[in-house]
Structure 1
Amino acid sequence: MESVPRKRRGYTKGSEEVKQGDGSIIWSSRFKPSCLFAQVAGWKVSGGPQRVALFDLDNTLITTKTGGVFFLDCGDWKWFTPVIPKKLHELHDNGYLIFIVTNQLCPPGVESSESFYNDWRRRFDRVATALQGVPFRLLASVRNDWYRKPLPGMWEAIVQLLKEEDMEPDLANSFFVGDFAGRRADKCSSDFKFAQNIAIALHTPDEYFLGRPVETRKPKGFHPSMIVQHEHWFQPSNTPLVPAVKARKPILILFVGLPAIGKSTLYRKYFAQAGYIHINSSRTSENMTAIEEACSKGKSVVVESTAPNASGKTMSTAQRSSTWAFSMPQSARSPGVADFSRSCIWFADTDVAWHNNMYRALGRTEALREIEGDSKLIPCKDFKDIQGRFEEPARAEGFKDLKRIYFRFEGTEEERKRYMLWYPLS
């Protein structure tokens, strides 16, 4: 018999909104709003390390009868191969704990997400019934957050569920079966990345259920292990990163780089304590007002912004630097401030910026969010639009000093662990 789950602190059955479906499946709101959660009881284990069998759902256990990407109704499904119920029964009989982990974002254009997920659950009830009593747990990610594969939120939920029953996963003898494995014909590699993120063995459904040979896997996208480590993370390195601030000889430094590349972090860690004022505005007029005020007080300034031109489009780097660095307000030309020194620090690495965008929005620890605040994910389309307008700065634009920053991660061990994960492509 399955041991009775112990309730976690702050979690009561009355808050579950449990409903009974076909095949003795129980749906729970435990992991809302990130995940749908369901279970079929009957595990024949108790305590200690346990072998876990993880399965993706669509195109791994089931597929649509109609051949479409999305199901049309509750009856639009069939087994990926008829041997699946027998295989899962064998796993259960051999002592494996079976979990199904699946990404289930509501498709674009659907009028009611509530109606979509109600239909989806009714369809899955039929899948559970067809398994004829095989016990399992289901987690279905319904939001673009920490629980969505390849990120490890659903796996962490599984570890917590096992812990509450005095169990833990035996990773060395566990495995995951998923179809997005980075093969040539796969449109993405989220299952490959999920397996790597949680350090578990991966099989494709063709390999595991049909006995086909292993195909070459080459994941698409960027991983932070690809970041080149330079001997000097800013170049040229023969002059200081932070110019010393001198009275009545202010310095204006322009930070240039894509969103999430680390401009604000660089200022906070190195320039704030040196006495530089931080100006981060999306409007040129506001920038100029702030610069003029700083100049009148002999203050040095770091300017970080994306300024729109008259047509409302993003200016190129050259246009921005001309606006900020050379169209100095009248006070900057006054005696004692006329030698206003202009420098530029720019950040390269487009792939790093996109990874940082995902990490900043989805991966940071709660402790870091409390310090830095929440960050919204910049959509892929908007990010590419900014990237397409980006121009590298040049010394010919009149900068006294021009430095390039090579990104390096700085943080706690837990923050580094989260940063070094595979993140979604979009």
Structure 2
Amino acid sequence: MQSAAPTRVARAARAAAAAAPLAASSTAGSLDLPTSSTASSGPARSGPAHSHTAGAPNKKRARQRQDKPRLEGKWLPVLQGRSPRGRGCGHFVYGTPTPSTKIAAFDLDGTVIRPLGGKAFPKSSFDWEFCGPEVVPKLRATYRQGYSLLLISNQASSVPSLASDFRKKLPFVARKIGVPLRAFACFDFDEFRKPAPGMWHAFAERFNGGASIDYSASFYVGDAAGRPADHADTDRKFALNTGLRFLTPEQFFLGHEADPDWTLWGWHPHAYDHTLPPPPQLADPAAATLGADDAPEVVLLVGPPAVGKTAYAAQLEQEGYLVLRLPRDAAPAALEPALHAALTRPPSSGAPTPRGLIIDASLPTRRARARLLAAVRASAAPVRTRCVVWTACAGGGDGAEQGVRMGSDEDTREVVELGRHNAVFRLATGAGEGQGEGAAGLTPLREFEAWARCYEVPTLAEGFTTLTPHRFSFSPSQSGGVPLSRWTQWLADAYPGKAKKTGRVALRGADLLVRPGAVARAEER
């Protein structure tokens, strides 16, 4: 019995000695061999190397965790837009993102994270989870392949606590992702709100270190893709506006094929033809042609906000007309002195006699126009009156070529949608600021709704000498040199509400498969 113990000890010693070289070689190999998650077709990101030896004391592992550099996240100053009272765009950075020519941009809610329990909206800053177990590994692998990660999210709400909860939540989300990234969150309805490309332009122009972006390698992932089950089409429109390749979360995270069953909803900026003429002018048969020595002409501009009335007035002002812009709540009786002074300027003043007077106002109702015409006639000698009315129909006396009758409900809707689009375009580009437009922020949605609700199409029976239909036509010279391609972006969705709820189809994904040539020509136009 006593001789057996030394024998067992000797066998154990020999076994340990034989196993030691194998253990050492396997540990060394684990430090040198790359894993599949670190394989990359592009330039690899550098990062701290970490090794863990089996059986290491707890104290040593704790010391290694303390030595590991921790990424820190912080909210940077808010990006202020052109709206003086806007809440701007939140800007968050986690770690130290390095500039890159390759950008992987992601929507956040519904793409990267979602509320717990399948809820539509989160209840607090801790009410969230990743959309799947594959999300974090895929984001980290994308970062290691040389991409800069970018999160872009709409967070505008009338509930202040939602924005506050989002600010608290995002640092936790970034920490779980665990690699450097940058995030933008639009807290208002302005030029930063998707699908308007304001957040993307801010990043590309100011926060990518001057690196030229490779659009063939960059992409944007979002769940609002216009599919039948999607709540909106905003993300797909945003990708079109920015020029980024679009992927759904199922394509990017799960490797699914592209789904052609999608629809873009709402007003279609590419379908608006700027070359079509307006319907012909209507004239009172009893009225003589206005000559150079005749009484001055008073021109009333009738149309919703942001359709080009101010630009039209500026053109006539160069031709010798005076322009009188009326406050929204101005009483016509209070305007009589100003009207009288404008229409009866004495020769002794030294100023040239004006050809006429332009009244730049909305004037949607017959009653408003009648009160103004009465004030005009009470303040001066006989004058000729012309009404310029904005319309979406074109050609023919009643717009038959376009299938829209001037003054119809459809025509009114088209002109209002055009105005909403123009309002976002002006705010996003600064076009029109030199004429006093776009600098006061986004035209409130309630102004468009009120105009459409009470609009009555003008007629000669109201006392006008002539009635001149007018169609908006984009002019780069009147837009600060901004090209037409910027105007044709999907912009009206920056307003509250979802285009899908209008039920109006702008473009179907299936059309790209059935008649790609026709769609391409429409998009180019």
Tell me whether 1:364 sits opposite 2:430 in the alignment.
Answer: yes
Q: CA deviation at 1:55?
A: 0.6
Aligned Cα root-mean-square deviation (Å): 3.0
Larger Rg: 2
Distance 1:91 1:245, change over 3 A: farther
Q: Which runs of 4+ in 1 moved over 4 A?
A: none
Letter in 2 for 1:37: H
Q: Which ranges of structure 2 fall in alignment gaps of 5 or more residues? A: 1-44, 48-68, 81-87, 284-288, 346-352, 392-414, 496-525
| 1:276-291 mapped onto 2 (5 Å cutoff) | 276-281=321-326, 282=328, 283=330, 284-291=332-339
Q: Is the 8 A contact 1:292 1:329 kept in 2?
A: no
The equivalent of 2:93 in structure 1 is 39
Asked if 1:305 is matched to 2:349, the reply is no
Distance 1:160 1:361 in 2: 18
Of 291, 294, 308, the match for 1:262: 308
The reply to whether residue 62 of structure 1 matches residue 121 of structure 2 is no
Counterparts of 1:75 and 1:69, CA distance in 2:
15
- For residues 7-18 of structure 1, the aligned pairs below 5 Å read none
Following superposition, the deviation at residue 384 of structure 1 comes to 0.8
Pick from 384, 402, 417: which aligns with 1:351?
Answer: 417
Q: Which residue of 1 aligns with 2:71?
A: 24
Matched, 1:143 2:185: no
Q: CA deviation at 1:417?
A: 4.3
Partner of residue 172, structure 2: 126
Q: Which letter maps to 1:292?
A: H
Q: TM-score when scaled to structure 2?
A: 0.65
Question: How far off its partner does 1:386 sit?
Answer: 1.3
Using the TM superposition, name which of 207-216 and 398-407 deviates more.
207-216
3-state SS in 2 of match to 1:73: coil
Q: Secondary structure at the match of 1:414?
A: coil
Q: How does 1:67-146 map to 2 (within 5 A)?
A: 67-105=118-156, 107-110=157-160, 116-117=163-164, 119-131=165-177, 133-146=178-191
Q: How many residues align?
A: 378
The residue type paired with residue 231 of structure 2 is K
- Tell me the equivalent position of 2:202: 157
- Summarize the Cα distance change of 1:306–1:35 in structure 2 as closer, same or farther, 3 Å threshold: closer
Cα deviations by residue, 1:278-311 (Å, 9 ceiling, x for unpaired): 222232223443333334347521223246xxxx
Q: Which runs of 5+ in 1 are unaligned?
A: 4-21, 308-314
Instruction: Output the amino acid matched with 1:302.
Output: I
C-alpha distance in structure 1 between counterparts of 2:300 and 2:282, whole Å: 18
**TM-score normalised by length of structure 1:** 0.79
**Which amino acid is 2:372 matched to?**
W
Question: 1:233 touches 1:407 (CA, 8 Å); kept in 2?
Answer: no
| Amino acid in structure 1 at the alignment position of 2:242 | I
Q: Distance in 2 between matches of 1:162 and 1:168?
A: 12
8 Å CA contact 1:252–1:341 kept in 2: the answer is: yes
1:364/1:415 contact within 8 Å kept: no
Which residue in 2 is equivalent to 1:310?
none
8 Å contact 1:230–1:406 — kept in the other structure? no
User: Taking structure 1 as reference, are residues 296 and 135 closer, same or farther at Cα in structure 2, changes over 3 Å only?
Assistant: closer
Percent identity over the alignment? 25
Q: CA 1:97–1:292 in structure 2 vs 1: closer, same or farther (change >3 Å)?
A: same
SS in structure 2 of the partner of residue 171 of structure 1:
coil
- Asked if 2 retains the 8 angstrom alpha-carbon contact of 1:363 and 1:419, the reply is no
Indicate conservation of the 8 Å contact 1:27/1:38, yes or no: yes
| Preserved CA contact (<8 Å) 2:193 2:199 | yes
- Aligned residue number for residue 197 of structure 1: 241
Secondary structure of the structure 2 residue equivalent to 1:353: helix
Contact 1:360 1:375 in 2 (8 A): no
How far apart are the structure 1 equivalents of 2:70 and 2:196? 30
Q: 1:150 to 1:170 in 2, by over 3 A?
A: same
Q: Distance in 2 between matches of 1:342 and 1:370?
A: 28
* Equivalent position amino acid for 1:29 in 2: L
